Amino acid sequence: MLRVIPEGVDLSGTALIAGFHGIGATGYWTVKFLVNELKAKRRCYLDYDEAPAVATFSGTGMATPYEVYEVPGLSLLKAEVSPVRERESQFFRELAAWVKASGAREVALVGGLDESLKTDEDTYKVVMTSAFSRSGGLPGEPALDEDKIIVGPVASLLNLFEINDFPAFAVLAYSSTERVDPRASAAAVKFLASRYGFAADTAPLIKGAEVLEGEMKQYEEKERRPPASVYS
């Protein structure tokens, strides 16, 4: 069972941005970055019976598995861990029901898209529910190809919002499937900043991406070298 603490939290008038662990951890790192960058304030906790027994700590204090933060006009759902696989379907059903009842005007889901599927210069693709399309959609934004399949938390929530006629969309940034990909998060942040009219400096994400890419390049070069002879 999903419980909101404190009870009765109202997200009326805000757009809810949510991201989860998936390809490149794009959704999680995008939301985590925005919480820090926008200096968002924690609004409530989401307590779930089957939440993993995980707690984290940072310079700002404890971070529980599922929390909602807020700045004017925006709410941000930060998921430190993925729900237990055997219960994830129920978790997302209850989460979608709460979001719909919370008064949020729309939901923006953030996820990763396998970069090996990239066939153009776009850094991300978007997909939206019918209710969101009717409200105006995202004119001019690159839509996900019709033959592509979405999986994971983003897919679960998109399905639930579609069934319940709720306005929601997903921005899926092309990402590495082998590691955390801050460059994908930077692409998602830029899109969201344009959509919702806030300023965000993505330089730390780009720098993190460059460091990771440099380390991968060094590793690959090392792997290509012939083994050193044990004889002199």
Run of H or E residues at 188: helix 182-196
Return the half-sphere exposure (C-beta side, CA atoms, 13 A cut-off) of residue 75: 21
Name the architecture of domain 2-224. 3-Layer(aba) Sandwich (3.40)
Can you tell me the distance from the alpha carbon of 153 to that of 19, in angstroms, rounded to the nearest whole number? 8
Give tens-digit pLDDT for 23-56.
989 999 999 999 999 999 999 999 998 887 888 8
- pLDDT, position 232: 43
Domain ranges of the chain: 2-224
pTM for the predicted model, two decimal places: 0.90
